[in-house]
Amino acid sequence: MSAEPSAVSISPRYSREVVEERDAHADLLADFRAGMLEPPRSLPPKYFYDARGSQLFDAICDTPEYYPTRLEADLLERHAEAILEASGARTLFELGSGTSRKTEYLLAALEARVSAPHYVANDVCGEILDEAGARLLQRFDQMRVDSLCGDYAAALTHLADVSGAQADGPRLFAFLGSSLGNFEDAEAAALLRRIRDTMNPEDRLLLGLDRVKPRPVLEAAYNDAAGVTAAFNLNLLSVLNTELGADFDPEGFEHRAPFVEDLSRIEMHLVSRRQQTVRVSEPEAVLEIAEGEVIRTEISRKFSLEAIDRLLTAAGLEHAAQWSAPEEWYSLFLLRPGAD
Ligand code: SAH
Ligand code: AVI
């Protein structure tokens, strides 16, 4: 969440720009007011990712239960060259890039194709952008890395504003990790439409999506035995305590992550262990939270092909190519903007 510039910004091959449309704190205030003052309570998942939340997500990716990262990494490792070949890209632009670890497969394939590769990374977490930037500059000695710190919408607006001046060749947009699955249908379609409207006709979008699979596999992935996902979920309360001057007691809540079959999604819940009163400074509020009451902190959709095609049609995107893990447990879709 930090917008402070860091040492890596002194490299001539690295820049970090804050691209918020509204400052991150104002966003959180508005979302807290909209979702948390009355039951049913919920918050959008982007607030998980302060520096600690980003580290915890990285640790989730290393748990034996969280299969999406491994399946997607395996697909990227095996098909990066084909993806770059099919896209013809000279620049990679990634939304919600996190550590960019899996992205390194794409970046290596990009570097093999072009002499001065350009990677534009976007994330709400400034710390993770700088860490990734420093690592990438070391590995790829001709690469330029520009980080856009802010949410997806702000990064896309920024890209649309500068694209005349800076668009170097066809671009590959990447939206990996099934992060699209953190949005309900209308928001997901609007975000995809936004991406499509930012693309030039020769640009391509690589979209990584988690697919429907047996409930035990899904529920284990979000309820890992070591409790890393629980710590990630509960860390949200620490973010609220710091950012809003609240006094949530993380011990007063329990992590749960059921698969809600009729909506085809995991829901991340914080369940109140007791009747409790939480005081918040900004916005000034007193929350009376009942025993057993649920705060919904995330949805994580598991997609059927029909659901994916409905979204793509609504967004004006067309299939160019597709790569899937065994049993279609995870898929990468290469998409092109359709005609208006
Ligand atoms: N793409 C990576 C990281 C996924 S975790 C992977 O596949 O492993 C989701 C990432 O998106 C986090 O790094 C988080 O900070 C970022 N993020 C979450 N919501 C966001 C938003 N609304 N705008 C921009 N980045 C966001
Ligand atoms: C980033 N996002 C797609 C992850 C997911 O699977 O929904 C975040 C996550 N939440 C719990 N575990 C992982």
Q: Give one DSSP letter per residue of 130-164, joined into a string.
A: HHHHHHHHHH-TT-EEEEEES-HHHHHHHHHHHHH
Q: How far is the CA of 124 from the centre of ligand 1 (A)?
A: 7
What per-residue confidence (pLDDT) applies to 8?
A: 63
What per-residue confidence (pLDDT) applies to 22?
A: 83
What per-residue confidence (pLDDT) applies to 65?
A: 98
Ligand nearest to the CA of 233: 2
Q: Tens digit of pLDDT for each residue in 19-44?
A: 988 888 999 999 999 999 999 999 99
Q: Single out the residue of 131, 130, 87 nearest to residue 109, CA to CA.
A: 87
Q: Is 53 in the pocket of ligand 1 (CB under 6 A)?
A: no
Q: How far is the CA of 276 from the centre of ligand 2 (A)?
A: 28
Please tell me the distance from the alpha carbon of residue 92 to that of residue 144, in angstroms, as a whole number.
Answer: 11
What per-residue confidence (pLDDT) applies to 161?
A: 84
Q: Is 98 in the pocket of ligand 2 (CB under 6 A)?
A: no
Q: How far is the CA of 60 from the centre of ligand 1 (A)?
A: 13
Question: Model-level pTM greater than 0.85?
Answer: yes
How does DSSP classify residue 171? E
| Residue 334 β-bridge partners | 206, 321
What per-residue confidence (pLDDT) applies to 218?
A: 98
Q: Single out the residue of 268, 226, 189, 207 nearest to residue 72, CA to CA.
A: 207
Q: Is 330 in the pocket of ligand 1 (CB under 6 A)?
A: no
- The ranges of the chain with pLDDT < 50 are 1-3, 7, 165
What per-residue confidence (pLDDT) applies to 164?
A: 53
Structure-block tokens of residue 235? 């860390």
What per-residue confidence (pLDDT) applies to 66?
A: 99
Q: Which residues contact 148 (CB under 8 A, 6 or more apart)?
A: 16, 17, 19, 120, 121, 122, 154, 155, 158, 159
Counting from 1 in the atom list of ligand 1, the atom nearest the Cα of 53 is 15
Between strands 118-123 and 144-149, the pairing is parallel
Q: Single out the residue of 235, 189, 231 nearest to residue 47, CA to CA.
A: 235
Q: Is 97 in the pocket of ligand 1 (CB under 6 A)?
A: yes
Please tell me the distance from the alpha carbon of residue 80 to that of residue 92, in angstroms, as a whole number.
Answer: 12
Please tell me the distance from the alpha carbon of residue 301 to that of residue 332, in angstroms, as a whole number.
Answer: 15
Q: How far is CA 170 from CA 106, 118, 314, in A?
A: 15, 11, 24
